[in-house]
């Protein structure tokens, strides 16, 4: 058990190191000079050279890499090239926005997928079950940004029920916050719901074939009751795993959805920073996303060890 | 899928759910009790007094310190609204009083004496005096880092005559200096208010900076201690949209009340045919230049440059790529310049002439590299330029370079191009773009430089005469081709009045706005 834990931890650290090197290397080969972009079109070569020195861009690449990683490990992500402002508070602000978006979208996905998947499993031979399956298939096929554009066109521009875009901090105006959150969460969450529905369906189908359900039925419970009382909690195990894996997809989806809905989250920061060649910010944001995904997967792994006695025994 | 009996699993689901809910419920970002932004859904008729207005723009400032950070986005928000200069530009492009009530120029045109407003105050409570004016002008040379600071190089000395009078002596006569004083370089700072320019600007204007949500919006709040006429709106919020469609949608759904500058003229139909909105069209300083590399390659050949100019059908081009909006000019000057004249007649559309000149030039077989930035007007007009040139027998290779990064390096810094398309939006930039042989246009013409120098040193009448001659020379020698001047198109809710029709200063001036 301990050995397995250490093994997993080792994999986590190795993945982090490798991805940090890859992210840094990508930024190093990106064309364009951050200092020149920061100074604008009328800057003299001398001023650009001076700024490169100030940024530390004139140092050898390995030195730059080490100083960047040292900063990350000590929770100092550095200073933006373009604005000259510390990055840490910006990351915190933007992360809050993106987490709300992703969290609520995930919640929506669960709320839709669990009942829908269950019904699909229970009625998998009936027409209603097949119809739901078809809807889920459609949902998987529609990309988030397209869903977003369609939702804006219908509910904001045509019907005028909701704002087309924007973000209001909940403390400032809770009503507006909710209004502006609905459409982006739908475009992000419904796609996830469709994916998740299929997992729920297959997990519930697996459970339905288990002996203990038959036992429960023989005690006089209706099929529905038996499933709710004994089956769903078991079906939840693989679904939770999938949720962890889905986080990566959700975060990537959020980048696009934030752009469509003009939401100042991590995704918008990432895209703006790439176009401004604010490389240090790009590196920090990408690493933050990488860490989030890797850590969640690590936690899911651990949960598995805790949950599944067969794994604890070391048998696979 | 593995299925295992466990109670933990439900707990995890519950935890994920509860966590998300908690996150959604608790405050993200800073809690503030600001009055929200422009009354979404309200249709945006702010009543003068304590109304709020939201204006949608494209480029967000990186920070609020234009003394150290370049780019038009910062003065667009701050100049005239938060910071004021001794002088400022009006909507016709004329210089009028700002913090200086009047000024006199000596006979040798080197000494300027400014009489200052006696009741002006900074938002930090300090009174504005001649000491602050001297401090601000001197500080451009000592503390500013942006290239624009060179506008103050001509200042020899600044002297405080009295708390309300300042004398500035120039090392040589310069008409341009007073004009530059209307721009961000002339902004007046408080001697006790320059500690945190990037986040907390301190000026004498009718507004101060309120909440700034990075990546989203900057809110200006009315300065109730303002020394002049107080503006009608209590708050004006600038909201930023990278995507033109999102910007249009924000107005259509009432999130904003004004589109400050329309990026997609072809989308105007939805507003023009709707009596809820008004469309205002004015002019800018942005000449959309089809620039040539005068220093090397095929475009070094003057016949070649002239051939290109004859080959472009400007009217058809503007109709195709900018919805027919924008003035045709023919040289590096805009209709609001005092020395403007229409020079489109120098190179009328004439394919036969273009073909003949192309053959004469001896460069006919060369492929011209048209390297354009990924900006809306450039990508839209680049394909039109290419096809028009090909119809006249040119070979053109069109490359789109990512703006700013790739275009800046390839075209701007290394001049590795034959032609490009870029809007030069700075005011009175004839000298900046063509007067410096090391600039990316690589234009070298001593006669032209001499005219510019003479214009700057002469009387205002001489300045007009010499600048006219310079613009004509530039056009005759085909230093570039001028496609059109970017129009300034504003779309707003019907009730909003006092919008700045022309964008010819560096400011989006919101001080005169009011709502009905």
* Structure-token pair, residue A179: 């209004």
Mean pLDDT, residues A188-193: 88
- Answer for the pair B360, B511: CB distance below 8 angstroms, yes or no: no
Query: Is B6 close to A107, i.e. CB distance below 8 A?
Result: no
Strands (E) located in B383-513 = 395-401, 419-424, 480-493, 496-497
Collapsed DSSP state (helix, strand, coil) of residue B39:
coil
Helix (H, G, I), strand (E, B) or coil at B104: strand
Residues of A in Cβ contact (< 8 Å) with B41: 163
Q: Tokens 């053959």 sit at which residue?
A: B359
Minimal C-alpha gap between B87 and chain A (Å): 24
Distance between CA atoms of residues A101 and A181, nearest Å: 8
List chain B residues with CB under 8 Å of A40.
70-71, 146-147
pLDDT bracket for residue A312 (50, 70, 90): low
Report how far residue A257's alpha carbon sits from residue A247's, in angstroms, rounded to the nearest whole number. Answer: 15
CATH code at B293? 3.10.105.10
What is residue B435's predicted lDDT score, i.e. its pLDDT? 95
DSSP designation for B503: B
Q: Is A272 on the interface with B (CB under 8 A)?
A: yes
Q: Structure tokens of B426? A: 């700075």
Structural domain contains residue B251: no
- Cβ atoms of A278 and A81 closer than 8 Å: yes
Chain A nearest C-alpha distance from B410 (Å): 9
Does residue B443 form part of some domain? yes
**Is B93 part of any domain?**
yes
Nearest-angstrom CA–CA distance, B79 and B484: 27
- Residue whose pair of structure tokens reads 């001049």 in the numeric block: B415
Residues B325 and B178 in one domain: no
**What are the angstrom distances between the C-alpha of A79 and each of A58, A72, A280?**
16, 12, 8
Q: Is the pLDDT of residue A120 over 70?
A: yes
In sequence order, what are the residues at sequence separation of 6 or more whose Cβ sits closer than 8 angstroms to the Cβ of residue B175? Answer: B455, B456, B457, B458, B460, B463
Query: What is the domain partition of chain A in residue ranges?
Result: 1-74, 93-311
pLDDT at A28: 86
CB A265 within 8 A of CB A97: yes
Question: Confidence class of residue A30 from pLDDT cuts 50, 70 and 90?
Answer: confident
Classify residue B14: in a domain, yes or no.
Answer: no
Gap between the Cα atoms of B196 and B210, Å rounded: 14
Q: What is the pLDDT of residue A307?
A: 64
Q: What's the token pair of residue A213? A: 């359900």
Residue with tokens 């000259």: A84
Tell me, letter by letter, the H, E, C secondary structure of B55-99. EEECCCCCCCCCCCCCCCHHHHHHECCCECECEEECCCCCEEECC
Helix, strand or coil, per DSSP, at residue B29? coil
Token pair listed for A34: 């951050």
Closest chain A CA to residue B422? A41
Q: Which of B33, B62, B147 sits opposite A44 (nearest CB)?
A: B147
Which pLDDT value is given to residue A87? 92
The total number of structural domains that make up chain B: 2
User: What is the nearest CA distance from A307 to chain B, expressed in angstroms?
Assistant: 6
Task: Evaluate whether residue B65 is within a structural domain.
Answer: no
What CA–CA distance (Å, rounded) separates A114 from A233? 11
pLDDT at A218: 72
pLDDT averages per 10-residue partition of chain B, 516 residues: 37 35 32 29 42 94 91 94 96 94 96 97 96 98 91 97 98 96 97 94 97 92 94 96 92 94 90 94 96 97 97 97 94 96 97 97 94 94 97 96 90 95 94 94 97 95 97 98 97 95 94 88
Domain boundary among B170, B186, B202: B186
Euclidean distance between CA atoms B211 and B37, whole angstroms: 10
Q: Which of A36-40, A246-250, B13-17, B479-483 has the highest mean pLDDT?
A: B479-483
* Window from A112-121, A181-190, B464-473 with minimum mean pLDDT: A112-121
CB contact under 8 A, A259 and B1: no
Please state, in angstroms and rounded to a whole number, the distance separating the CA atoms of residues A98 and A94: 6
Residue-by-residue DSSP string for B174-227: -HHHHHHTTSGGGB---TT--S-TTT----SSSEEEEEEETTTEEEEEE-TT-S
Query: Are A234 and B25 within 8 A, CB to CB?
Result: no
pLDDT value at residue B10: 34
> Hey, are the CB atoms on A84 and B26 less than 8 Å from each other?
no
DSSP per-residue letters across B243-289: SHHHHHHHHHTTS-SEESS-S-GGGTHHHHT-TTEEEEEEEEEEEEE
Does residue B181 sit in the same domain as residue B288? no
Contact B1 A238 (CB under 8 A): yes
Q: Which CATH number fits domain A93-311: 1.10.3720.10, 1.10.10.10, 3.90.105.10, 3.30.365.10?
A: 1.10.3720.10
Is B75 inside any structural domain? no
Q: What is the mean pLDDT of residues A254-262?
A: 90
pLDDT in tens, A42-53: 777 888 888 889
Burial of B1 per CB tally in 10 Å (0-12, 13-18, 19+): middle
| Residues whose CB is less than 8 angstroms from the CB of residue B101 and which lie 6 or more positions away in sequence, other chains included | B115, B116, B117
Q: How many residues does chain A have?
A: 316
Closest in A41, A308, A309 to B412, CB measured: A41
Domain termination site, one of B132, B160, B186: B186
pLDDT of residue B152: 97
Which chain B residue shows the shortest CA-CA distance from A262? B241
Q: How far is CA A22 from CA A19, A267, A270, B354, B388, in A?
A: 5, 19, 17, 52, 45
pLDDT at residue number A205:
82
* CATH number of the domain to which B166 belongs: 3.90.76.10
Q: Is A43 part of the contact surface with chain B (CB cutoff 8 Å)? A: yes
User: Would the CB atoms of A103 and B7 count as touching at under 8 Å?
Assistant: no
Enclosing domain of residue B349: 284-487
Nearest Cα residue in chain B from A279? B405
Report the 10 Å Cβ neighbour count for A131. Answer: 12
Asked if residues B197 and B67 have their Cβ atoms less than 8 Å apart, the reply is: yes
Q: Are A104 and A189 in contact (CB under 8 A)?
A: yes
Average pLDDT over residues A152-162: 90
Contact B4 A308 (CB under 8 A): yes
| Closest residue in chain A to residue B438, using alpha carbons only | A44
3-state SS assignment for residue B430: helix
Predicted pLDDT at B49: 63
Using a CB-CB cut-off of 8 Å, the residues of chain B touching A169 are 27-31, 213
Q: What is the dihedral of CA B205, B207, B209, B214, to 10 degrees?
A: -110
Q: Which positions in chain B touch A84 (Cβ < 8 Å)?
A: 62-63, 65, 68-69, 198
Overall average pLDDT of the A203-215 stretch = 76
Given B186, B217, B238, the domain boundary residue is B186
Count Cβ atoms below 10 Å from residue A259 Cβ, excluding itself.
21
DSSP letters of B459-479? -HHHHHHHHHHHHHHHHHTTS
Burial of B369 (0-12, 13-18, 19+ CB in 10 A): buried
What's the CA angle centered on B386, arms B307 and B472, to 5 degrees?
40
**How far is residue B473's CA from residue B435's CA, in Å, rounded to a whole number?**
12
Largest CA distance in chain B: 97
Rounded Cα–Cα distance for residues B56 and B236 (Å): 11
Within-domain flag for B514: no
Peptide bond into A155 cis (omega under 30): no
What is the structure's pLDDT at A243? 80
At residue B237, φ and ψ (nearest 5 deg) are -110, 125
Query: Residue A260 is encoded by which pair of tokens?
Result: 């469509």
């Amino acid at each position: 058990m301990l050995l397995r834990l250490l093994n997993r931890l080792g994999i986590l650290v190795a993945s982090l190191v490798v991805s940090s090197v890859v992210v840094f290397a990508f930024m190093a080969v990106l064309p364009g000079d951050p200092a020149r972009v920061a100074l604008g079109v009328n800057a003299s070569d001398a001023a650009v050279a001076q700024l490169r020195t100030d940024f530390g861009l004139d140092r050898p690449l390995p030195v730059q890499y080490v100083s960047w990683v040292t900063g990350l490990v000590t929770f100092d992500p550095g200073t933006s090239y373009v604005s000259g402002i510390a990055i840490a508070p910006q990351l915190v602000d933007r992360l809050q926005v993106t987490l709300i978006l992703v969290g609520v979208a995930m919640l929506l996905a669960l709320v839709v997928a669990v009942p829908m998947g269950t019904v699909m499993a229970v009625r998998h031979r009936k027409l209603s079950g097949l119809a739901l399956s078809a809807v889920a298939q459609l949902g998987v096929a529609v990309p988030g940004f397209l869903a977003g554009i369609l939702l804006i066109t219908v509910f904001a521009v045509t019907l005028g029920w909701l704002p087309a875009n924007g973000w209001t901090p909940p403390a400032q105006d809770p009503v507006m916050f909710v209004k502006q959150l609905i459409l982006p969460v739908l475009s992000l969450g419904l796609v996830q719901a469709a994916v998740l529905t299929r997992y729920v369906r297959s997990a519930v189908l697996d459970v339905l074939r288990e002996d203990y359900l038959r036992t429960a039925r023989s005690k006089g419970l209706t099929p529905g009751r038996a499933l709710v009382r004994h089956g769903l909690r078991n079906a939840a195990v693989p679904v939770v795993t999938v949720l962890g894996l889905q986080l990566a997809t959700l975060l990537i989806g959020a980048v696009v959805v934030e752009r469509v809905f003009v939401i100042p989250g991590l995704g918008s920061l990432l895209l703006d920073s790439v176009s401004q060649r604010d490389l240090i910010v790009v590196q920090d944001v990408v690493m933050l996303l990488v860490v989030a995904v890797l850590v969640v997967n690590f936690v899911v792994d651990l949960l598995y060890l805790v949950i599944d006695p067969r794994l604890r025994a070391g048998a696979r | 899928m593995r299925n295992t009996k466990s109670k933990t699993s439900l707990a995890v689901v519950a935890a994920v759910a509860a966590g998300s809910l908690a996150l959604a419920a608790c405050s993200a970002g800073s809690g503030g009790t600001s009055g929200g932004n422009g009354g979404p859904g309200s249709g945006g008729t702010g009543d003068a007094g304590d109304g709020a207005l939201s204006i949608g723009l494209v480029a967000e400032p990186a920070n609020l310190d234009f003394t150290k950070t370049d780019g038009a986005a910062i003065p667009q928000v701050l100049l005239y609204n938060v910071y004021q200069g001794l002088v400022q530009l009006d909507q016709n492009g004329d210089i009028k009083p700002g913090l200086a009530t009047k000024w006199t120029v000596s006979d040798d045109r080197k000494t300027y004496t400014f009489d200052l407003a006696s009741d002006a105050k900074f938002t930090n409570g300090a009174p504005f005096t001649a000491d602050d004016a001297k401090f601000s002008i001197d500080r451009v040379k000592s503390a500013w880092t942006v290239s624009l600071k060179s506008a103050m190089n001509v200042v020899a000395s600044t002297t405080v005559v009295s708390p309300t009078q300042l004398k500035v002596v120039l090392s040589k006569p310069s008409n341009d200096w007073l004009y530059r004083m209307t721009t961000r370089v002339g902004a007046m700072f408080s001697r006790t208010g320059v500690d945190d320019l990037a986040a907390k600007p301190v000026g004498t204007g009718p507004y101060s900076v309120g909440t700034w949500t990075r990546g989203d919006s900057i809110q200006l709040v009315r300065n109730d201690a303002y020394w002049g006429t107080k503006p009608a709106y209590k708050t004006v919020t600038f909201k930023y949209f990278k995507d033109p469609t999102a910007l249009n949608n924000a107005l259509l759904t009432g999130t904003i009340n004004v589109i400050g500058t329309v990026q997609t003229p072809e989308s105007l139909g939805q507003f023009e045919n709707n009596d809820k909105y008004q469309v205002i069209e004015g002019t800018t300083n942005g000449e959309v230049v089809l620039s040539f590399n005068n220093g090397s390659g095929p475009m070094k050949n003057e016949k070649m440059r002239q051939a290109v100019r004859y080959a472009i059908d400007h009217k058809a081009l503007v109709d195709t790529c900018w919805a027919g909006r924008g003035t045709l000019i023919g040289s590096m000057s805009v209709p609001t310049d005092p020395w403007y004249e229409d020079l489109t007649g120098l190179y009328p559309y004439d394919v036969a002439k273009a073909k003949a000149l192309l053959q004469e030039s001896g460069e006919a077989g060369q492929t011209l590299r048209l390297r354009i930035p990924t900006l809306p007007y450039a990508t839209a007009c680049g394909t039109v330029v290419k096809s028009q040139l090909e119809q006249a027998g040119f070979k053109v290779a069109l490359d789109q370079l990512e703006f700013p990064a790739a275009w800046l390096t390839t075209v701007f810094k290394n001049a590795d191009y034959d032609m490009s398309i870029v809007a030069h939006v700075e005011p009175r930039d004839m000298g900046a773009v063509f007067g410096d042989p090391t600039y990316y246009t690589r234009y070298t013409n001593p006669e032209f430089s001499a005219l510019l120098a003479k214009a700057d040193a002469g009387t205002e009448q001489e300045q007009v005469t010499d600048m006219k001659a310079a613009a004509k020379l530039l056009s005759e020698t085909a230093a570039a081709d001028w496609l059109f001047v970017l129009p300034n198109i504003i779309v707003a809710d019907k009730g909003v009045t006092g919008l700045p029709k022309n964008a010819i200063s560096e400011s989006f001036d919101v001080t005169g706005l009011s709502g009905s």
